[in-house]
């Protein structure tokens, strides 16, 4: 008999585990629950069925297949998740509602919300374990492509400032296999991607997991294929009105994560930074 999930976190784990085996309609339902739990918490069964593109009876059967008594039980789990984040504001209206005159104000508001929601979701114990892993692992490999390339670059750059053995995987055409060959079992792999997820990042993360590396994902929601492969997952809000999805919370998170690693390593980090300053000065890197 199926054990029913008692919390949204348990529901999330079950859906991620089953995602690959679900039928098409069931997969659409699962993605709605994973990507828009807030909306589901306030929708009727008819509304959720319309969003998922299924019949209402399919929602009922989906709930019972999880061991839940029906659709209201799914709503309850989603509402309980919201209760844990009750101090956060509701999502902003769609970007089209903002005129050109409030572009600056709207951009600031979206980024403030992204930051608040991103940091509110972090479990302190999971954060501490991830920081320890990044500080103590022999080597760290960071990968993010296309719109996440800049996030991966700054994370690799900052981590390399405070500890040795950090590598940014940014393969030119056909070179990814050569870089993945350097992965060792005790290393850590950090994968960064948001919808639409880059195939190379997903494949590299899957390979790292098979090799036995510990894995960390920075991604947008629980339906991300990176989330399934990761030992530690940090979800980042990217809502906004700019041409591409906002990366402000991403940059803030990797800066905070790198700073936490620096604090964890203590005196050794200070030594690394002093050496960096000496090298920068000796090579006249900066304009006087």
Rg (CA), the chain: 21
SS3 192: strand
Sign of CA dihedral 279, 284, 286, 288: positive
Q: Terminal CA-to-CA distance of the chain, rounded, Å?
A: 71
pLDDT surpassing 80 at residue 72: yes
Which of 48-62, 92-106, 133-147, 150-164 bottoms out in mean pLDDT, i.e. has the lowest?
92-106
What pLDDT is stored for residue 79 in this prediction? 85
What pLDDT band is residue 89 in, cutting at 50, 70 and 90? very low
pTM metric for this prediction: 0.70
As a whole number of angstroms, the distance between CA 73 and CA 109 comes to: 33
Domains of the chain, CATH where assigned: 8-84 (1.10.10.10), 116-282 (3.40.50.10490)
Task: Write the CA distances from 250 to 115, 118, 265, integer angstroms.
Answer: 9, 9, 23
Residue 78: CB atoms within 10 A of its CB come to 21
Q: Who wins on pLDDT, 95 or 282? A: 282
Cis peptide before 196 (omega within 30 of 0): yes
Say what percent of the chain tops pLDDT 90.
47
pLDDT surpassing 70 at residue 73: yes
**pLDDT by residue (tens digit) across 149-186?**
999 999 999 999 888 999 999 876 567 777 787 788 88
- Give the angle subtended at the CA of 142 by the CAs of 136 and 165, to the nearest 5°: 45
What pLDDT is stored for residue 96 in this prediction? 47
């Amino acid at each position: 008999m199926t054990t029913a999930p008692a919390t949204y976190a348990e529901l999330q784990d079950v859906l991620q585990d089953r995602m690959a085996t679900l039928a098409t309609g069931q997969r659409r339902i699962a993605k709605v629950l994973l990507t828009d739990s807030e909306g589901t918490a306030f929708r009727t069964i008819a509304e959720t069925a319309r969003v998922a593109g299924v019949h209402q009876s399919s929602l009922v059967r989906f709930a019972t297949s999880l061991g839940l008594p029906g659709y209201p039980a799914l709503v309850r789990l989603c509402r309980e998740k919201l209760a844990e984040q009750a101090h956060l504001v509701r999502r902003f209206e769609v970007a089209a509602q903002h005129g050109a005159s409030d572009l600056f104000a709207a951009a600031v508001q979206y980024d403030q919300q992204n930051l608040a929601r991103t940091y509110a979701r972090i479990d302190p114990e999971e954060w501490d374990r991830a920081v320890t892993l990044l500080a103590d692992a022999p080597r760290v490999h960071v990968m993010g492509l296309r719109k996440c390339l800049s996030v991966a670059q700054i994370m690799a750059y900052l981590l390399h400032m405070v500890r040795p053995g950090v590598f940014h995987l940014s393969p030119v055409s056909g070179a990814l296999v050569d870089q993945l060959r350097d992965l060792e079992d005790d290393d850590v792999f950090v994968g960064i991607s948001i919808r639409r997820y880059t195939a190379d990042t997903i494949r590299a993360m899957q390979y790292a997991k098979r090799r036995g590396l510990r894995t960390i994902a920075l991604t947008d929601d629980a339906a991300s294929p990176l989330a399934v492969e990761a030992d530690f997952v940090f979800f980042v809000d990217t809502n906004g009105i700019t041409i591409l999805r906002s990366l402000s919370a991403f940059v803030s998170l990797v800066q905070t994560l790198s700073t936490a690693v620096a604090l964890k390593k203590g005196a050794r980090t200070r030594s690394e930074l002093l050496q960096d300053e000496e090298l920068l000065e000796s090579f006249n890197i900066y304009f006087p």
